[in-house]
């Protein structure tokens, strides 16, 4: 294997879940793990078995990844326990996952103050836990927590901790408090590489001084060959090293190789935005490489120079990372991105077809209005197929009405009832039905299914998995524009997301619900008009 090969280890689903305000569901984890696998990451850390119900549910039926090793995270045995009789280690090794990462202390201060253990006992905890895991797992990694603080305080003991982990496949140097500066990083990693081959070393940086990405790249230059980080720099406190910035820097700037191919890298912007959408948060406009402003140019000398040669104000071709150039005064980019999305969904269209240019314009107009298709691929595919005349009309919603009633019932309890009336046309036939639900969206969905299920039995196993609302213009108060994102799933384990935007939240919800139903019918090849 080339000495320039760097392995990518993602810990978004575990370290990223420690971000304030972030709460992944098991379904979120499954979807994101699949996206990271398709990107070509080498390792995807799924979470900490035994730590919480979400991680337990995820590891009870872990997704089958094709390119990445799904990894379970845990800690070394506790002081005073044997490795064979430690409940934390038992939970870590009981999952179907055969790659495990264990964290242990590498700072003498933490050993005595946080763990309340003797220094020699900590070394035994590391060594015995790794030996025990090696007998049950295919690959074992060791995260040397607080290594850099430990090295600065007591280099001999910090190195002893690494040597105690010598039977692990990877020994990862962690800047857990994020306080190490680039000069220190280069010096300390060089000293470690003199004793332990870089091909066995990883780096795990936090961003408390704003240096996590820089420190990671410096560590690679000093010899380490695994980098750990998260999508968009998610993580506790100030976050972890941002893999979305690290990967193109390694490959495009520094000449290193990763499992992420050139074609894979064109999906970086998409994955970055997809994670933001699943967390119901706005992407950072100024994010390096993938942000909306990363290749945006506004007026004056910049625009004039970029029109002559983009290299004047762009450090890379934005399409290499799935982004595109934005001329703010007259936006003239995006066709290549849409063509790439077409290839993903199996659509073949001539680049010179006027329908493509019109679709680019439509997408831009709709995104200006608040739509986001990075987290709603199903809605994008439907939009594209409608524009190209490739989408049958399975049904047409002619009207709907939703009524909410809040009142006291006979038991003296305050209740709210929702009732929806829908009118649909299916292949020339008219239908009307009424349904109740535990909320306006549930009532609307129930009414739609009441009409459509007898006609389209393919919808029987479709269920709504997630429902998110984001206010696009919060300054407008109660008149603000909401965007609704709905995730649906079926009995085959397929998941898809749809989007709706309107000043009326029920209207936006209906749009997303309708797209979710239509997408399922199209993917299953349902006949127009049903059975």
Q: pTM score > 0.85 for this model?
A: no
Q: Which two tokens stand for residue 470?
A: 């984001």
For residue 228, which of 410, 6, 76, 25 has the smallest C-alpha distance? 6
Judged against a pLDDT cut of 80, whether residue 335 lies above it is answered with no
Dihedral of the alpha carbons of 291, 468, 274, 386, in degrees to the nearest 10: -100
Count helices and strands in the chain by DSSP H and E runs: 18, 16
Q: Please report the pLDDT score of residue 333 as a whole number.
A: 40
d(CA 510, CA 67): 37
Which of 456, 520, 510, 511 shows the shortest CA–CA distance to 488?
520
| 378 Cβ neighbours under 8 A, 6+ residues apart | 488, 496, 497, 498, 515, 516, 519
pLDDT the model gives residue 330: 31
Which stretch of 156-160, 331-335, 395-399 has the lowest confidence by average pLDDT?
Answer: 331-335
Domain-terminating residue out of 316, 333, 350: 333
Structure tokens given for 496: 């898809």
The 10s digit of each residue's pLDDT in 402-412 is 999 988 888 88
Both tokens of residue 157?
């003991």
Instruction: In whole angstroms, give the CA distance from residue 420 to residue 435.
Output: 5
CATH of the domain at 35: 3.20.20.70
Q: Where are the beta strands (DSSP E) in 335-458?
A: 396-408, 414-426, 429-437
Over residues 175-187, the mean pLDDT reads 98
Q: Are strands 296-297 and 482-489 parallel, antiparallel or unpaired?
A: unpaired
**What pLDDT does residue 477 have?**
57
Same domain (yes/no): 420, 500? yes
**Domain co-membership, 60 together with 204:** yes
In this predicted structure, what is the pLDDT of residue 267? 95
In the predicted structure, residue 87 carries a pLDDT above the cut 50? yes
Alpha-carbon distance 324 to 196, whole Å? 42
- Looking up residue 443, the CATH number of its domain turns out to be 3.30.160.270
Name the more confident of 367 and 264.
Answer: 264
What pLDDT does residue 409 have?
Answer: 85
CA–CA gap between residue 452 and residue 456 (Å, rounded): 6
Ranked by mean pLDDT, the top range of 19-28, 89-98, 342-351 is: 89-98
- Chain centroid to CA 389: how far? 32
Q: Which domain holds residue 325?
A: 280-333
Q: Please report whether residue 366 resides in a domain.
A: no
Q: Which is nearest to 147 in space by CA: 178, 121, 120, 125?
A: 178
Take residue 381 and report the two structure tokens written for it: 């595919």
**Radius of gyration of the chain from Cα atoms?**
26
User: 248 and 295 share a domain?
Assistant: no
89-111 burial, b at 16+ Cβ within 10 Å, e below that, comes to bbbbbebebebbbbbbbbbbebb
Domain count along the chain? 3
Residue 306 pLDDT: 75
Are 232 and 276 spatial neighbours (Cβ–Cβ below 8 Å)? yes
Q: Which of helix, strand or coil describes residue 254?
A: coil
The domain boundary residue, chosen from 309, 333, 357: 333
Q: What is the pLDDT of residue 240?
A: 98
Least confident segment among 199-213, 235-249, 325-339, 462-476: 325-339
206: in domain = yes
pLDDT value, residue 340: 63
Domain boundary among 260, 295, 321: 260
Q: Residue 332 above 50 pLDDT? A: no
Query: What local confidence, expressed as pLDDT, does residue 331 receive?
Result: 36
Considering the domain boundaries, does residue 484 fall inside one? yes
Q: Which residue has the higher pLDDT, 467 or 233?
A: 233
In 3D space, the residue among 72, 145, 142, 79 whose CA is nearest the CA of residue 107 turns out to be: 145
Model confidence pLDDT, tens digit, residues 281-330: 878 989 999 998 899 876 557 767 777 888 999 999 999 999 988 765 33
Q: Is residue 363 part of a domain?
A: no
Mean pLDDT score of the chain: 91
Q: For residue 173, list its beta bridge partners.
A: 144, 203
Does residue 301 belong to any structural domain of this protein? yes
**Residue 308 confidence (pLDDT):** 82
Q: What confidence score (pLDDT) does residue 329 get?
A: 33
Mean pLDDT value across residues 81-105: 96
pLDDT at 33 over 80: yes
My answer on whether 107 and 187 are in the same domain is yes
Q: What is the pLDDT of residues 446-499, one digit of tens each?
A: 999 999 999 999 999 999 988 989 887 665 555 568 999 999 989 887 889 999
Q: How many CA atoms lie within 13 A of 103 on its CB side?
A: 21
Answer for the pair 519, 382: CB distance below 8 angstroms, yes or no.
yes
Cβ 40 vs Cβ 292: under 8 Å: no
């Amino acid at each position: 294997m080339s000495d320039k090969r760097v392995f990518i280890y993602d810990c978004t689903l575990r370290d990223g879940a420690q971000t304030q305000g972030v709460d992944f569901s098991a379904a979120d984890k499954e979807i994101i793990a699949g996206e990271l696998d398709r990107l070509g990451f080498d390792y995807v850390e799924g979470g900490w078995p035994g730590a919480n119900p979400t991680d337990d549910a995820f590891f009870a039926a872990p997704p089958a990844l094709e390119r990445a090793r799904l990894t379970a995270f845990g800690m070394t045995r506790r002081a005073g326990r044997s490795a064979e009789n430690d409940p934390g280690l038992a939970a870590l090794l009981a999952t179907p996952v055969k790659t495990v990462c264990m964290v242990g202390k590498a700072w003498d201060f933490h050993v005595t103050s946080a763990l309340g253990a003797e220094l020699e006992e900590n070394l035994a905890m590391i060594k015995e836990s790794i030996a025990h895991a090696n007998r049950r797992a295919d690959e074992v990694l060791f995260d040397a927590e607080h290594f850099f603080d430990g090295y600065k305080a007591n280099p001999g003991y910090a190195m002893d901790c690494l040597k105690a982990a010598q039977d692990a496949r990877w020994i990862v140097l962690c800047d857990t408090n994020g306080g190490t500066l680039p000069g220190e990083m280069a010096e300390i990693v060089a000293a470690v590489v003199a004793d332990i081959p870089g091909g066995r070393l990883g780096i795990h940086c936090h961003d408390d001084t704003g240096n996590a990405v820089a420190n990671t790249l410096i560590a690679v230059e000093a010899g380490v060959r695994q980098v750990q980080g998260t999508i968009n720099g998610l993580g506790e406190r100030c976050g972890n090293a941002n893999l979305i910035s690290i990967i193109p820097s390694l490959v495009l700037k520094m000449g290193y190789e990763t499992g992420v191919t050139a074609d894979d890298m064109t999906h970086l912007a998409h994955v970055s935005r997809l994670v933001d959408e699943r967390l119901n948060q706005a992407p950072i406009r100024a994010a390096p490489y993938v942000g909306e402003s990363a290749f945006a140019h506004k007026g004056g000398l910049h625009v004039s120079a970029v029109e002559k040669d983009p290299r004047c104000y762009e450090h890379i071709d934005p399409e290499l990372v799935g982004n595109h150039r934005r001329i703010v005064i007259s936006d003239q980019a995006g066709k290549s991105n849409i063509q790439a999305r077409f290839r993903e969904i199996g659509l073949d269209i001539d680049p010179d077809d006027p329908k493509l240019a019109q679709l680019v314009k439509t997408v831009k107009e709709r995104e200006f209005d608040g739509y986001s298709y990075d987290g709603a691929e199903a809605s994008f595919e439907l939009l594209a197929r409608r524009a190209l005349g490739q989408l049958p009309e399975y049904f047409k919603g002619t009207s709907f009405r939703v009524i909410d009633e809040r009142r006291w019932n006979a038991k003296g309890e305050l209740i709210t009832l929702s009732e929806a009336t829908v009118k649909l046309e299916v292949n020339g036939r008219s239908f009307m039905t009424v349904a109740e639900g535990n909320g306006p969206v549930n009532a609307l969905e129930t009414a739609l299914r009441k009409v459509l299920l007898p006609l389209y039995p393919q919808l029987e196993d479709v269920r709504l998995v997630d429902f998110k609302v984001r206010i696009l213009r919060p300054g407008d108060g109660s008149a603000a524009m909401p965007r609704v994102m709905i995730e649906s799933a079926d009995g085959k384990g397929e998941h898809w997301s749809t989007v709706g935007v309107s000043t009326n939240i029920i209207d936006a919800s209906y749009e997303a619900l309708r797209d979710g139903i239509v997408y399922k019918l199209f993917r299953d090849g349902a006949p127009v008009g049903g059975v």
